């Protein structure tokens, strides 16, 4: 376990010298600002306040926002598994299995750090107009029980307001976002082991596949009736990982969409599967070392 930890630690040391890490977190923060600004500006215009998690809830309860911030993982993990001059040093002292477990531990923890960063950033950006009590704000009520939310493209839903409280919803959305990004990370690692840089291509396809199956895109492309749209949403709600990561695209007791527990299990099982495949693939992987950083 100690060797796995030190292998992961070596990856974190590279963050200090890696422009792409700084760029990924900086762009992620900018996306948080751009995506959540509509909620904050609406609150200012109507002189209302927000519960501290509401900006995160309304921003990342939307499939497009989930996909956009997840793309930054392509920058963070573009060179995985890292093959600098420090890797031969590790491989002399540890076996391949321990090395890849260290890489997996790093990717899992780094994905968690990035997801937490996104959540905290969104909360900080709305902090000046927020309170901590676990109750919905007047802003949420206006957006949820009127057509204003749709007009300003803020995904508020009455079933979210009526069936739970802000802290519970924010934790569920965080878990779904983490599951989606974790699956993306595992796909990147496995495909990079199959062929160099294939993980970037696979990651983009993974995100694009989910985006093309979102309800708005399906409706715009196929001009479906309301009944056809409802059926399509159910089918693609089960098929698309991005819809699985979208909070309102779940069964809250009166439709046929996946339940939250199913989505958590789906992301856990599929992520674990790709990480296990990576551990198997590393046995026959040919290391081509690229040099080191200064």
CA separation for the pair 150, 104 (Å, rounded): 40
Alpha-carbon gap, residue 91 to 159, rounded angstroms: 53
Within a domain: 69: yes
293 within domain boundaries: no
Residue 25 has a pLDDT of 94
Q: How does pLDDT run across 20-30, given as a tens digit for each residue? A: 899 999 999 99
Give the C-alpha separation, 227 to 214, whole Å.
16
User: Could you tell me if residue 44 is inside a domain?
Assistant: yes
Q: Give domain status of residue 294, yes or no.
A: no
- Residue 291 is assigned to a structural domain of this protein: no
Total of domains in the chain: 1
For residues 32-45, average pLDDT: 84
Residue 293 pLDDT greater than 50, yes or no: no
For residue 294, pLDDT beyond 50: no
For 179, residues 6+ apart whose C-beta sits below 8 A from its C-beta are 244, 245, 263, 264, 266, 267, 268, 271
Instruction: Note whether residue 290 is domain-resident.
Output: no
Q: CA torsion angle for 122, 251, 204, 184 (degrees, to 10)? A: 80
Q: Which domain range does residue 279 map to?
A: 2-284
Reply yes or no on whether the pLDDT at 284 is more than 60.
Answer: yes
Residue 77 located in a structural domain: yes
Q: What is the mean pLDDT of the chain?
A: 83
Does residue 216 form part of some domain?
yes
pLDDT value of position 253: 64
Q: What is the DSSP string of 171-195?
A: HHHHHHHHHHHHHHHHHHHHHHHHS
pLDDT at 272: 95
Which residues, in sequence order, are CB contacts of 22 under 8 Å at separation 6+? Answer: none
Phi and psi (nearest 5°) for 130?
Answer: -130, 160
Assigned token pair, 16: 């200090």
């Amino acid at each position: 376990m100690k060797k796995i930890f030190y292998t992961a630690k070596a990856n974190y040391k590279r963050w200090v010298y890696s422009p792409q890490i700084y760029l990924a977190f900086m762009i992620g923060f900018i996306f948080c600002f751009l995506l959540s600004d509509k909620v904050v500006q609406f609150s200012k215009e109507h002189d209302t306040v927000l519960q501290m998690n509401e900006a995160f809830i309304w921003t990342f309860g939307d499939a497009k926002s989930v996909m956009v911030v997840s793309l930054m993982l392509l920058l963070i993990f573009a060179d995985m598994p890292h093959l600098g001059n420090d890797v031969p040093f590790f491989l002399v002292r540890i076996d391949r299995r321990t090395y890849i477990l260290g890489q997996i531990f790093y990717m899992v923890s780094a994905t968690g750090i990035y997801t937490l960063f996104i959540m905290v950033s969104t909360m900080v950006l709305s902090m000046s107009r927020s309170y901590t009590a676990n109750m919905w704000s007047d802003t949420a009520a206006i957006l949820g029980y009127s057509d204003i939310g749709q007009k300003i493209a803020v995904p508020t839903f009455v079933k979210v307001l009526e069936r739970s409280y802000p802290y519970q919803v924010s934790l569920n959305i965080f878990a779904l976002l983490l599951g989606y990004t974790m699956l993306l990370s595992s796909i990147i690692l496995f495909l990079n082991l199959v062929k160099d840089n294939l993980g970037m291509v696979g990651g983009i396809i993974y995100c694009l596949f989910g985006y093309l199956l979102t309800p708005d895109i399906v409706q715009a492309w196929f001009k479906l009736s309301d009944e056809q749209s409802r059926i399509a949403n159910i089918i693609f709600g089960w098929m698309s990982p991005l819809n699985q990561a979208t909070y309102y695209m779940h069964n809250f007791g009166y439709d046929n969409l996946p339940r939250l527990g199913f989505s958590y299990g789906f992301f856990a099982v599929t992520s674990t599967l790709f990480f296990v495949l990576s551990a198997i693939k590393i046995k026959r992987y040919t290391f081509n070392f690229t040099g080191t950083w200064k």
